[in-house]
Structure 1
Amino acid sequence: MEISIRHYEKTDNADLFEIYRLPEVTANTSQLPYINSDKVEQLFDNPENYTLVAEVDEKVVGHVTLFLTNKVRDRHAAFLAIAVHPSCHGKGVGRYLMEQAVEQADNWLNLIRLELEVHVDNEVACALYQKVGFETEGIKRLSTFKAGRYIDMVLMSRIRPDYASNG
């Protein structure tokens, strides 16, 4: 399977909707199940965000988004979100997206800190984030409502290595 990474285009919204319409995807996000296509478009069609997509056979099968800020004192940091179509889980798509996002953050966007939140029960995602250099910073207890109950969120971050060792 050949995976290509490129920047998001508006024409990707249909494929991204196909990913986000799946309850098994939205279950691990902050979105409600059965998200509509207008909401998906709003998520991605924002010039302040930096989104990369993964393509397999000319179909978008995942994305990683860096949510950048205009706050002067926070411009060194971005919040990260990722989703991969379940048919591509375990095939390296998520890892490749994360590696490319980190490379862009370090070498082109001049970011020092990447941060994310992940459901405590999403052990596969936690392991992926650790493989690309994220560390657990803490737990937000009873932070989100999922499948009829409150669950914890793991707060994770990655500090650019050259800054962490020299900072």
Structure 2
Amino acid sequence: MSRKKNRLKIFDTKYFWSVIGALILLAFFLLSNFTVIFDRLDNGMLDTFFKYRTDRVEQDLQVGVSYEGFNPNISPDILIVGIDLKTLERFGRFPFPRWRHADFLKSLSRINKQNERENSVFLDLLFGDSIENPTYDGLLVDAFKENGRVFTETFLDEFPPPAGSYTDYYERQQV
């Protein structure tokens, strides 16, 4: 009997599993916030998802005969232009100069037949850094205006910019 009295109450069966559960939750919290284990797992699962999600299925039925089926949920009108190693070898290191993006957008704008033109262009690139030659910003802005169908990525910052930087932002928009 004396042995049972000296034992802490949390080691009783009715409380012990709650303590184990709390320790497991604490371990998951610490692992998710202070390590990259779950980030790597998430990125690996996302890579696998995109690897197996295709717009077409090709199957060889017999020699010389193949079946090709398309996923009706993926529009063939969408074209994703990526920056891969071949692109980097041809155009140099990333980020590319802004005049290169402007040339790309202007080449899309030169398509005369409106029904063959793109409906929109989404550039998943941030143009937030200042550059050496501000005329390149002007070329890019002109290309945006000429194309008229360009959307860029934006980001929200939890901290407001320094007090004097608002005028700098407005001056950049007047280019």
Q: Please indicate, yes or no, whether the TM-score normalized by the shorter chain is above 0.5.
A: no
Greater helix share, structure number: 2
Q: Which has the larger radius of gyration?
A: 2
Greater strand share, structure number: 1
**TM-score, reference length from structure 2:** 0.27
